[in-house]
Amino acid sequence: MTESATSKLLNGDVCHRTSNGKKASKNGFILTSCFVLFFVDVQNQNVPHNSSLYKKPFVESFEETPLWVAVLTYMGYGILTIFGYLRDFLRHWDIEKCHVARERDEQKDFVPLYQDFENFYTRNLYMRIRDNWNRPICSVPGAKVDLVERVTHDYNWTFEHTGKVVKDVINMGSYNYLGFAENTGACADAALEVTKMYGVGVGSTRCEMGNLDIHEEMEQLVARFLGVESAMAFGMGFATNSMNIPALMGKKLLRDAIVHGQPRTHRPWKKILIVVEGIYSMEGSIVRLPEVIALKKRYKAYLYLDEAHSIGALGPNGRGVVDYFGLDSKDVDIMMGTFTKSFGAAGGYIGGKKELIDYLRRHSHSAMYATSMSPPVAQQIITSMKIIMGEDGTTLGADRLRQLSQNTTYFRRRLHEMGFIIYGNDDSPVVPLMLYMPAKIGAFGREMLKRNIGTVVVGFPATPIIESRARFCVSAAHTREMLDTVSPISNILLLLIAKAFYQCRLMKHKSLLLSSFLRPHTYLQHGLFFL
């Protein structure tokens, strides 16, 4: 779709590029497959929108990376790259030991297993901070977790367990939005009873001998929860998209779909599928669903809504972005979501018209070849969903929804008050805090863990190269005391700035470093120190 077409989306509204220090919108439309397929990436919402479509304020912020921060960040990657090539030279001549797996001489003419840059990045950049990921957890991933302590003696190439356990680490990384990741309570008790009745595994696919009555009960409940005619569940959340979109769309290369149109005739596409996410997990932004629906109706398209992060986490009733905006679920043709986050289970679902679901039952690879969902997992979904809907006879579901909303508002406000740059919508429980420079990714994650706070740090290639960040996921299970423990991050940044002052001894920046003690968070985010 051209810019001139998108500029006339809604009642003559025009999407302008901003020039006031904020980033221009990165909303994009990707056309592919047998239909024309749009992926709408709503990273930046700093564009005008049609306020008449919204029933309440819609506030999102994406502050542009300062120019000098971007320059310093590129310099940081440049220095790492130079030293990476130097170390590769030393490894080539066996001066430094090479830990990475390499092909044998007789395999040199084979197709390489890795691209050159991908392998280089893994060896020389990722390995330096690898200790921040894949930490073994030995408890329920609730509001607090226990971690298996590990050490490395070869700079993160291998790890050894010390036999010790780091207790009561505040969990700010898991997608446990409503706090259903627990081993006690109604959900755990119900799953235990179902395990005694059905066992753990099914041993067959849904279309053969693996279709249980508990599966059909779950799907009927999901359809009622979403407000759609029918629904179908799958055992893996990722496969819900990867195995079903091809069944709906067929195959077509992106460039050919955009430039050449339909095969042979080259005419414009007659069917268009718009694919959007409810909450974008790296940005914390919420899709502008009212505008997307208006766009869909204008061009007579179909809408595929991925609510992996938003289902259960948004809306007064926990029904996702449709509920959040007060819209009609019938305006969304295909509703997709996962059970791995707000429901504390596994798998995913697709909901919509009965004809759509019947078609997927016959053509979806996941339905035809994948093993059925485990019965205790299905029961976990049923019980947690009934709690959210209030069908358990209690107000526990409403209380958790309200607590998540309050925790999200409080945590975001505290970070704003401290001067941090955070991305996303004010109502999103995904809270990215910008770090920018690569050296801060590892330093921030390690210092947080030293204070018994577990968080996720993210960098390139999962984010743009100059937009490394720490990502906090707020949960209804978090108490105000836990959030207050996490909020004073400026103490950590103060320590890192003092360390930089000691190591670098940059006298020309001494006044800046001293002033940073008053607002240390600002200077950490703006890339003053190198580690």
* Whether residues 83 and 119 fall in one domain: yes
**Predicted pLDDT of residue 49:** 59
The predicted-structure confidence for 337-346, as pLDDT tens digits, reads as follows 999 999 999 9
The predicted-structure confidence for 95-131, as pLDDT tens digits, reads as follows 988 887 777 777 777 877 766 677 888 888 899 899 9
Q: How many domains does the chain have?
A: 2
Percent residues over pLDDT 70 in the chain: 79
Percent residues over pLDDT 90 in the chain: 57
Whether the pLDDT of residue 13 is over 70: the answer is no
* Whether residues 112 and 160 fall in one domain: yes
Question: Are 429 and 313 a contacting pair, CB within 8 Å?
Answer: yes
As a whole number, mean pLDDT of residues 271-282 equals 90
> Position 39: which residue type?
F
In a domain, 418, yes or no: yes
* Whether residues 101 and 142 fall in one domain: yes
The predicted-structure confidence for 485-517, as pLDDT tens digits, reads as follows 987 775 665 555 555 544 544 444 444 433 333
In a domain, 51, yes or no: no
- CATH of residue 330's domain is 3.40.640.10
CA separation for the pair 138, 90 (Å, rounded)? 39
Cis peptide before 461 (omega within 30 of 0): yes
- DSSP assignment string, 173-202: SS--TTS---SSSHHHHHHHHHHHHH-S--
- Phi, psi for 443 (deg, rounded to 5): -65, -45
Element (H, E) at 503: helix 490-504
Whether the pLDDT of residue 16 is over 50: the answer is no
The predicted-structure confidence for 129-181, as pLDDT tens digits, reads as follows 999 999 999 999 999 999 999 999 988 999 999 999 999 999 999 999 999 99
* Whether residues 377 and 275 fall in one domain: yes
Beta-carbon contacts of 276 under 8 Å, excluding residues fewer than 6 positions away, are 38, 39, 40, 42, 287, 289, 292, 303, 304, 305, 306
* Whether residues 122 and 236 fall in one domain: no
* Whether residues 312 and 341 fall in one domain: yes
Residues forming a β-bridge with 145: 169
* Whether residues 353 and 223 fall in one domain: yes
In a domain, 515, yes or no: no
Binned at pLDDT 50, 70 and 90, residue 44 comes out as very low
Whether the pLDDT of residue 220 is over 70: the answer is yes
* Whether residues 417 and 357 fall in one domain: no
In a domain, 476, yes or no: yes
Tokens of 132: 């921040």
**Predicted pLDDT of residue 520:** 38
**Predicted pLDDT of residue 33:** 39
* Whether residues 277 and 419 fall in one domain: no
Kindly report which listed range (213-222, 244-253, 334-343) carries the lowest average pLDDT score: 244-253
Of 371, 393, 415, the residue at which a domain comes to its end is 393
In a domain, 522, yes or no: no
CA separation for the pair 384, 473 (Å, rounded)? 20
In a domain, 109, yes or no: yes
As a whole number, mean pLDDT of residues 420-426 equals 92
In a domain, 4, yes or no: no
Question: Could you tell me which residue, 523 or 214, shows the higher pLDDT?
Answer: 214
Question: Could you tell me which residue, 94 or 313, shows the higher pLDDT?
Answer: 313
**Predicted pLDDT of residue 99:** 82
Binned at pLDDT 50, 70 and 90, residue 233 comes out as very high
Of 359, 393, 427, the residue at which a domain comes to its end is 393
Nearest to 137 by CA among 181, 178, 180: 181
- Phi, psi for 202 (deg, rounded to 5): -105, -40
Question: b/e per residue, 253-270, with b = 16+ CB within 10 A?
Answer: eeeebbeeeeeeeeeebe
Place of tokens 């505040």: 170
* Whether residues 71 and 202 fall in one domain: no
The 10 Å Cβ neighbour count of residue 487 is 16
- Structural domain including 154 reads 61-171+394-509
Nearest to 174 by CA among 430, 462, 459: 430
The predicted-structure confidence for 427-454, as pLDDT tens digits, reads as follows 999 999 999 988 889 999 999 999 999 9
* Whether residues 220 and 338 fall in one domain: yes
Mean pLDDT score across all residues of the chain:
82
* Whether residues 255 and 305 fall in one domain: yes
**Predicted pLDDT of residue 299:** 85
- CATH of residue 128's domain is 3.90.1150.10
The predicted-structure confidence for 361-377, as pLDDT tens digits, reads as follows 999 988 889 999 999 99
In a domain, 49, yes or no: no
Kindly report which listed range (63-67, 194-198, 328-332) carries the lowest average pLDDT score: 63-67
CA separation for the pair 517, 132 (Å, rounded)? 27
The 10 Å Cβ neighbour count of residue 477 is 22
Kindly report which listed range (73-87, 258-272, 276-290, 373-387) carries the lowest average pLDDT score: 258-272
Of 367, 393, 419, the residue at which a domain comes to its end is 393
